[in-house]
Structures are given as C-alpha cells and as structure tokens.
Structure 1
Amino acid sequence: MSLLQNSFLEVPLKNALVLYNNEVVPRLTKKNKMISISVSVALSLIYLISEKVLKPPKNLRHIPYISYFDSIKSVLRKESASDRSDRVFLPEIDKKNHSIFMEQERLGWIVHVSNPKDAKRIFLKIDKFPKIQTKDEHKETLNAKFTGGPNIVMLNGPEWKKHRMVANPAFHRSMPVKMFGKLTQDMINVIDSMGETVDISNLLHRWTLEAIGKAGFDFEFNAIKEQNNEWMIRYTKINQGLRDPKFIFFPLLDTTLRWLFPERVKVHNEMDIFLDMLDDVILKKKEAIKNGQQNKVLEENEKDLLTLMIESEESGSGLSNEELKSTLCIFFLAGHDTTAGALSFAVHYLAQNQDVQQKAREEAIRILGDDKCDILPTVEQTKEMIYINQVIKETLRMSGPATRVLPRISVEDTELSGVFIPKGTHLTVNIYGIQHSEKVWKDGSKFNPDRFADDGEASQVESMAWTPFGNGARQCIGMNFSLSEQRVMLAMLLRKYTWKTPENSIHKDGPKTFGLGILSPHKLDINFQKRY
C-alpha cells in the first residue's frame, strides 16, 4: 500500500470508528456484545494497518529495519524489553553489525542508535535532538495522564529549562539518607516476620514507594508495614496498567476503544483518584509552608522535594500547581519503579554470585562495623562504599530498568555512523543494546563488578558505553537519589543477612523479566538467613 493510498483510507476509517462508537454501540443489546467487540477490533486493526505503512517511508528505506509483524509478535507473546533485545536487537548489533536500525512503534518508525559515539551526539546535542511531544489523540492514554504533562522529562526549550532550574536543585539538595535507613529497618522487621523465602521484589517496590512518598512530598503510603492498604492497592493497579503492552503499542485501545475493556476503565478511575490526591497534597503543602510547618519524617535541615520546588517561587521561577503535579508523577518514575527494579536485580545477582556477595558484605562491615544490631549509614559512609557501588553499576549495566531513552526527533538532516538521517526522523538510544554489545563490552552477558574498578574495563570503553540514566543535560534527575537509596539498602541487607536463590526459582538460570518501558524481575523469591 502506498503512502497516497494510506492517506486516502485514513479519514474514512477513522470516521467509521467514530460513527460506530457513537451511533451503533448505544443501540446494541447484550446478545450482540460479542459481535460489537469483533467489529470494533476489526475496524481498529484495519485502521492501524492503513495508518501505519508496513514498510518504512521511502526516505528511510536505506536503513535496515525489523519487521512490523515481529513487533506484533512481541506484544502477543508479552515479551519483555530485555527478552526482545536479546532475541532481536543484539543480533542486529553484533552479528549483522547494524549500529543503526529501525523498528515500527506506536509513534511510527523509529531509529535505534546502538553505539556509544552516536549516543553521545544525541545526549549532548539536545537542541538538534529534542524530545518528541505527545500527540493530541494520545493525551488521554493512561501513560500520558501519568507522565505526559508539563514536566522536566517531556518539555523542550525554555519551558524545559525553567523546570530544570526548579527540579534539579531540589533533587540535589534532598538526600535523606537517615530516612532511607529507618525505612530499611522497617523492611528488615517485615522480612524477619516472614518465612525463610521472601518475595523481595514485592517488598522493594513497597519500600521505594514509601521512600518517594515521604521524601518527595511528605505523604505516607504505609506500604512497607501494610501491603493491602488502600493507597498501596491503588498504586499497584496503576503501575500494572502503565506496563500493559497492548495499550502501550495500540494507544487507540486506551482512548477511543477503551469501553471494550472494563478493567482498563477502572484503572483510569484509579489514576484520576491518584492525581486528585496529588492536587490535595500540593494545596496542603503550600498551606503548611505558609504556616511554617516542616516535614516530620526528615531531619531538621532536610526538606522534601515538593517543599523545595514550591520555595523556588521566591526566586521567580516557580511552577504552577499543574506543573508541580506533573513533576511529582515524574518523581515516582525516577524514584520508585526504576529503583525498586534496580535493587531487585542487585539482590538477584548477589544471590547468584556468592563470592561477590561476600566481598560486598566485608566492605559493609568494614565501614559500618559488625555489631549485632542495625546500623544506619551516614552520607559520608555511603561515599566509602566503593565495591558496593561497583556492584550497583554492573547491575545497572546488566539489567538497567530503562532499556532505551524516550524518543527524540532530528530537527535537521544529519548523519549517524555514516548513515543519512532525514529531518523529522524519530530516534532512540538503545541503552540495553549498547550495554550488552560484545563490540563494546567483553563477555557482555556476564556479571562482573570488577569492570567498574578504577583500572577496570569501564575506564577503557567509550564514555557513553554505560548510560542507565541517560547522559548530558537531560540525564535522569533522580540518579543520585536512586544511587543513594541503593547503597543504604544493600549495605544494611548485607550486614543483616546472607541470601541465595531457591533451587526451584524461575530465576535460577538468569533473571526472568517483564516490562516494556521499565524493566523488572518477575516475582523474585530469595532465601534469607539472618546473621544476627
């Protein structure tokens, strides 16, 4: 089908969908419900196929590309981003020697940049490769409601700079290490109340949710001690909804055709309640600041992220309530899901590599002592955790939660690796591909924290060979916050326990993962043994 044919069909099919939903659906009986669903799905698929040409546009056909049907196959299989990368992307990069290639996604054809040199250009030349903006027709998707608003991640130009002036200093100033330690004590108490085998991925998601709630905007989810409380259940449903691949890949199902999925409608309602809660939190926080009240869970000299951002209004660069809410949603992304996944993978790799676990434990004991009680690390002590930091970095190389960066667009004709990239091309940096490529890392599939020793392999590879948080001016604002959380948690776990992977674990031969946007391990059961 040609581009002309595609354009010719697009309007009638879109109109047919609108007509069907507005005029036919209200008149259907329960008896005809299955017919209505079949017709809607058929119309939707015809529209999607006609809207998205199966081959790239002519000005991109000189770039190697992956079949559109392979992408569909991944969605139907519920294949995780890491599994798809291992099956499809790494062979393109290492065996076919394609450092630039394309696949078709919900926004159309997108070029994957899979080598450090080209990644560096995209990370550093933010004026030439700005973020792609959410399409109007996608703004009512669940993901757009959560992260698509006016925030530091999605904006470009002067608006982005304004947000950066507010959000970046807030994240750099707020480093509540003592609070991280107290929350880790709470989690340790929960572990001690359970049996030998613990679903650590579940506990770490609860722990990081509590951490970002308290450090972010002075809100207690009470997620660690009460797994089934109202807010924990609500946020878990939202989190699962944000990861559903069919709605990510087919946004039409999350907007025009949402009525076909009653459970999806319920998740949207939960999201609306969650966003209303953030509105209320912002109003109460402004009132508390006005009355001189402080965050009760932080140290006297510490302030939560929301307080710091609101106080920036005094400098004339404050954010509106809508901008504050959107930025808080980004804090959840930067300070909760990603950190929980990273910590879960770290616990897994330490379980699988007992020698590494023992070496990391010896460092924790050397810094914090071996008294038979929980010790809360200080900021200064976390800076001494050289080997634990190597473990964290290697974990993020192997199983970084973000497998690629959010899409960018080339605002002018350019070249990457000698390949012509026309103006208007969508691009992403394939982080997973770069960090696993045998052309970049020796034995890239092997877990080896020594890569990040002072004279290790990481000091010799290209500067953008390790980019789990991105790089340049648009590097993840939560990087230091997340790394600090990880050091505190791992050091305290190492002093308290030894652990290993159960014999019947699905992760015995490597982590089994899920997720397209953010990578996480499936239920990660670990056998813990107390040291004191």
Structure 2
Amino acid sequence: MDLLTIGVGLLFGLILFHGFQTVRLRGKNFPPGPRPLPFIGNLHLLGPHPHKSLARLANIYGPLMRLRLGSKNTIVVSSADIAKQVLQKHDLAFSSRSIPDALHAHDHFKYSVVWLPVSSRWRSLRKAMTSNLFSPSRLDANQHLRTRKVDELIAYCRTADAVDVGRAAFQTALNALSNTIFSVDLADPISDSAREFKEVISNIMEVAGKPNPVDFFPFLTIFDPLGIRRRLSVYFGRVIDIFSSLIDERLEKRKEEMYDVIDILLSMPQEIDRTHVEHLCLDLFAAGTDTTSNTVEWAMAEVLKNPETMKRAKAELEEVIGKGKMVREGDISHLPFLQCIVKEALRLHPPVPFLIPRKVEEDVEVSGHTVPKGSQVFVNLWAIGRDPKVWEKPLDFNPLRFLNSEMDVKGKDFELIPFGAGRRICPGLTLAMRMVPVMLGSLLNTFDWKVEGGKLEMDDKFGITLVKAHPLRAVPIPV
C-alpha cells in the first residue's frame, strides 16, 4: 500500500469522524467559542503561548469557552466562579484525566498518581504521599533536613560572584526532597549533577507541555511525528534509572528499622509495587523541584523589579528575626508580608498555568451550558490571576493586596488556586508553602541583590510549568 493510498484513507476517516461528531453534538447548548476550521478546528489560535492566547479568546467568548482542537473537544475555564463549579460542585464528574500521548512513555500514565483515574490504587498512592511525606507531623520531623539544605544554599551564595537563582533553588529543593526520601543528596555541586538533573526535569516539563499533533489527531499515534513520546521516554528512562539504582542500594542494605520514606514506601501493601514507587518518585521529583524553584525565581525577580517591595520585605525580616539571619519554618507565621509576596508571585506566575487537564466521562451541566462527554478541560490559572473583575490593577505586582485578606492557596479561594482544588489538589502544597518562603526570605535577609548586567527580563516560556524565558542571574552582596 503506497503513501498516497494511506493518506487518502486517513483523510476519508477524518471526514467521517468529523461528520459523526457534528451530528452527535448537534442541538446541545454548548459553551460559546470561536468557529472551528475544517479538520484543524481552532489549533491555529493557540500560538506559542497558549495561556495568553486562550485568555484573549476568553475576553471575547466568556469564562466558559469551547474550542475544537483537531478532533478533540476542549473546554477552557477562565474565571474563579466557573473554576469553583468545575473543581468543587462537579469535582467528581471532572476528576478524570485527559492523558497526553507523551505520558504513554514508560507507561507512566498507568502508575502515576497524577494521571491515574480516581480508584482504590490512586487512593493508596495518594495516602502514601500525604501520610508519609506531607502530613504536618512528618514535615515537622524532617524540618532539620530542609534547614540544612537552605543553610547550604546561603553558604553557596556567599562564594558566588553571581547566582543563577532558579538553578540554586532547584538544587536546594532537589536535595531537600532526596534526603527526605532516600537520605542522600541527588545534586552534587562539585560534579554539577544539579544542573544535569535540572535539565532533565526541565526537558520533561517542556516536552510534556508542548502541543502535540497526536493529542489532537489520534490516528497519528503510530507516527509520533514530532518525536515527543520518544524524547520523553529517554528523559523518563534516565530519571527512573536513578531511582531504581537507589532502591536497589536500599534493598541490599535494608535493616528492620525504617529510616526514611523509601523504606516505608517499599513496605506498603502489594497494591503498590516497586514500579509504582519508581513512578511515584518521578512524580514527586518532577513536581516538587521544578515548581518550587520556579516560584522562588519568579518571586525574586518581582522583588528585584519592585524596590519598595524589597525595602518592606527586608524591614519586616530585620524586625522579626534580625538582619542577616536565615529564616526558619517556625518564623513564617510571623512574617505576613513575606507570605504576601509568595501569594502574589503565585497569582501572577502560577507554576502550572492550566493545572493538569481534566476530562469528563459524561455530559455535565455547568453554568447553563453542556460540557460534552469526552471533553478535555483546561483551567487557565494565568487568566484567573489577571482577571480585572477580581483584581485591582491585575498586572501590577502588589503583595499588599493580600495583607489584610484571608485569601489562601489551599483550594478554597478559587481566585487563587495555584495548587488546584478538590480531590485532585496537589498534595505537596504544604511542603511548598514551607520551602518557598524559607528560601526566599533567607536570600533576601542575608544579602542585598542586584541583577547581573542590570537588565531584568520577565518573559515566560510555556510548558507544563511556566518558567522564566531568561534565567534570573543576580549578584549577592552580604549584609
């Protein structure tokens, strides 16, 4: 069979599918949206910054918008009110995941707590994380590990002419997490392993977040035309190999007494086997390092851009803990302005701009419109954080907007849900809201800072996570 025959067959199949979809969906009250072109639908409207493109479209079509991306119905949520309906009122109906083709690499979607459907296995994995990693008692017990890594961060800054803030924060978050789970540093500054690991994790986030033709036209699965699944398979393989060797090491030296989290995970019931543990580690290290370091980097960039914010933050730190001292987790509750800076950074620069895409298994009624069965659902946090109906001067970095506000990031205030909400809320938010203020506050209180080269770039680069297009390099000046 020649390529022309295959092409004609695929085209004919696509026409039939499009016709079937049109007939099946006719007559229902769908959310408004731009008129789709034949075959490609609205793909041409996404551009290199989909979070911004979809925010502009939402200004035209409203906060609940429907697009057709290739053959896939897509619903975009761009307001706090609609997000509350989707993530709270109809949480169960929207709790499934839309699985990107890339996540079939190493069958990750079959084992990952992020991508598994809500089920007994998902609950077991979720419980393993919340009980053994992110519970208040476990976080308190491991606080000394994180303190030591932040001390090492400050010691490194004292020796550096200029600091790549994102990379330094990444190494700190990585080693804090790896010590908690494996009792080892995964990042060795001497061998530059932190840079190598960060590159792998950043590549995972960037590649997995790229628009992939296979996700819009499933018949392309066998071709993987952009090589996204193949590349992700390489990156996943490199990370899983690291975890596998650490697990082998632990099993060889294992004693009856449990010392850290990996011992506990390996002793879980049979429903969670070694493969689940390896993929759970992949989830934890991908989500827990990149998002934390990105938030620290964005917050530092915004503070450097706003001298009055820097001045007020330093004054609070000096008054509460003393000039030049490092922030400890117990200090956070006494540093309200520092907490406001973190919230404002999360509002303007949500780590995961669309959250992780949801999927509906049945037709669901939302705000008077039908969300059709099988639709993938994006919650555009980037747009919600810039909604002028909610935020005064939404493009300004102004931590004071939170100073006398009870608004929090724990999934109840839908104007600010950087960690999501409902049963799929990120379990690591408790750790992140300890690590980010401690790192940021310690950096601000132990040094004065100036941007290397004097020019501060604030452009972002889209992926699963929203990263600075130009890494922040800043010169530390001991106080």
TM-score calculated relative to the size of structure 1 = 0.75
Given the alignment of the two structures, is residue 443 of structure 1 paired with residue 398 of structure 2, yes or no?
A: no
- Tell me what 2:306 maps to: 353
SS at match of 1:487: helix
Contact kept? 1:247, 1:254, Cα under 8 Å = no
- Tell me what 2:115 maps to: 154
Given the alignment of the two structures, is residue 344 of structure 1 paired with residue 312 of structure 2, yes or no?
A: no
Deviations 1:339-363 (A, max 9, x none): 1111110001110111111212222
Contact kept? 1:147, 1:329, Cα under 8 Å = no
Given the alignment of the two structures, is residue 278 of structure 1 paired with residue 234 of structure 2, yes or no?
A: no
Contact kept? 1:513, 1:519, Cα under 8 Å = yes
In the alignment, which of 208, 213, 227 is matched to residue 178 of structure 2?
A: 213
Contact kept? 1:497, 1:531, Cα under 8 Å = yes
The 3 A distance-change label for structure 1 pair 361 and 47 is farther
Deviations 1:272-320 (A, max 9, x none): 23213322323443555534363xxxxxxxx44x344345x3xx58621
| Alignment partners' CA distance in 2, 1:517 and 1:350 | 24
| Alignment partners' CA distance in 1, 2:63 and 2:275 | 40
Contact kept? 1:499, 1:526, Cα under 8 Å = no
| Corresponding pairs, count | 461
The residue type equivalent to 1:112 in the other structure is V
- Tell me what 1:134 maps to: 99
The residue type equivalent to 1:116 in the other structure is A
Contact kept? 1:414, 1:421, Cα under 8 Å = yes
Shift of 1:336: 0.8
Contact kept? 2:73, 2:376, Cα under 8 Å = yes
- Tell me what 1:100 maps to: 64
The 3 A distance-change label for structure 1 pair 146 and 44 is farther
The 3 A distance-change label for structure 1 pair 325 and 529 is closer
- Tell me what 1:325 maps to: 278
Given the alignment of the two structures, is residue 515 of structure 1 paired with residue 462 of structure 2, yes or no?
A: yes
In the alignment, which of 203, 213, 232 is matched to residue 250 of structure 1?
A: 213
Contact kept? 2:288, 2:428, Cα under 8 Å = yes
In the alignment, which of 198, 202, 225 is matched to residue 239 of structure 1?
A: 202
- Tell me what 2:31 maps to: 63
Alignment of 1:261-276 (within 5 A): 268-276=233-241
Q: Unaligned 5+ residue runs, structure 1? A: 1-15, 21-38, 295-302
Contact kept? 1:495, 1:531, Cα under 8 Å = no
The 3 A distance-change label for structure 1 pair 448 and 56 is farther
Given the alignment of the two structures, is residue 189 of structure 1 paired with residue 155 of structure 2, yes or no?
A: yes
Alignment of 1:416-427 (within 5 A): 416-427=366-377
The residue type equivalent to 2:250 in the other structure is K
Shift of 1:134: 3.3
Shift of 1:144: 4.5
- Tell me what 1:309 maps to: 265
The residue type equivalent to 1:415 in the other structure is E
Given the alignment of the two structures, is residue 177 of structure 1 paired with residue 143 of structure 2, yes or no?
A: yes
Shift of 1:50: 6.0
| Alignment partners' CA distance in 1, 2:109 and 2:428 | 18
Shift of 1:334: 2.6
Contact kept? 1:199, 1:526, Cα under 8 Å = yes
The residue type equivalent to 2:153 in the other structure is M
The 3 A distance-change label for structure 1 pair 422 and 109 is closer
- Tell me what 1:490 maps to: 440
Shift of 1:73: 6.3
In the alignment, which of 411, 416, 425 is matched to residue 475 of structure 1?
A: 425
Shift of 1:268: 3.3
Shift of 1:442: 1.9
Given the alignment of the two structures, is residue 362 of structure 1 paired with residue 315 of structure 2, yes or no?
A: yes
Deviations 1:16-44 (A, max 9, x none): 7xx87xxxxxxxxxxxxxxxxxx9x9899
| Alignment partners' CA distance in 1, 2:165 and 2:17 | 41
SS at match of 2:463: coil
Contact kept? 1:85, 1:433, Cα under 8 Å = yes
Contact kept? 1:56, 1:109, Cα under 8 Å = no
In the alignment, which of 113, 116, 126 is matched to residue 164 of structure 1?
A: 126
The residue type equivalent to 1:517 in the other structure is I
| Alignment partners' CA distance in 2, 1:494 and 1:446 | 21
Deviations 1:221-242 (A, max 9, x none): 2244542x3x742551453254
Shift of 1:491: 1.5
Comparing 47-56 with 198-207, greater Cα deviation is found at 47-56
Alignment of 1:32-51 (within 5 A): none
| Alignment partners' CA distance in 1, 2:72 and 2:382 | 21
Comparing 338-347 with 268-277, greater Cα deviation is found at 268-277
The 3 A distance-change label for structure 1 pair 51 and 265 is farther
- Tell me what 1:3 maps to: none
Deviations 1:89-125 (A, max 9, x none): 33333x4260111234478221012222321232223
The residue type equivalent to 2:243 in the other structure is L
Deviations 1:162-216 (A, max 9, x none): 2222211122244233322322332333333332x43222322333222222223
The residue type equivalent to 2:293 in the other structure is A
- Tell me what 1:200 maps to: 165
Contact kept? 2:297, 2:472, Cα under 8 Å = no
| Alignment partners' CA distance in 1, 2:171 and 2:219 | 30
Shift of 1:480: 0.9
Contact kept? 1:177, 1:488, Cα under 8 Å = no
The 3 A distance-change label for structure 1 pair 474 and 267 is closer
The 3 A distance-change label for structure 1 pair 218 and 414 is same
The 3 A distance-change label for structure 1 pair 499 and 55 is farther
